[in-house]
Amino acid sequence: MHSPVGDITIAIDGGSVVSLDWGWARDQAVDDLLLKAKTRLDDYFDGGSRAFDLPLQPAGTEFQRRVWSLMQEIPYGGTMTYGEMSDRLNSSARAVGMACGANPIPLIIPCHRVLAANGMGGYSGDGGVETKVALLRLEGVVL
């Protein structure tokens, strides 16, 4: 799909979204879940939908899945720091940052809402920090 932050490819497996990547995939198919995911993302970028009611199955370690689950609790327009997340997970901010960078379903699992204590932090999606800033501004976050 086309989006304000670049072309996006959504991948599904076994009835769940498993990844969201920047760019186009070589093979493309029509599927009800893919169409639903595209519609939710289009609504998000148009300022409509603030939640994604999609079945997700991100592949990762138990710790990564805990981080990604906590990210999904950050509300639209909200943020949390790596340190705040690490405190809630009894971990380190660096480990949380590594899990954020490994997030296979960005946007839907909102790693862009996680910030460094002293600023923006990184973003592994296409466009890097510029994309993170654009997504936060879309959600009304004052930077």
Of 8, 85, 96, 111, which one is the catalytic site residue?
Answer: 111
CA 90 to chain CA mean position, Å? 22
**Which value, in Å, is the radius of gyration of the alpha carbons in the chain?**
15
Q: Tell me the pairing of strands 8-13 and 16-22.
A: antiparallel
Known active-site residue 111: yes
Whether residue 62 contacts residue 96, with contact meaning beta carbons closer than 8 Å, is answered with no
| Angle of helix 82-89 versus helix 62-71 axis, rounded to 10 | 120
Q: Active-site residue numbers?
A: 111
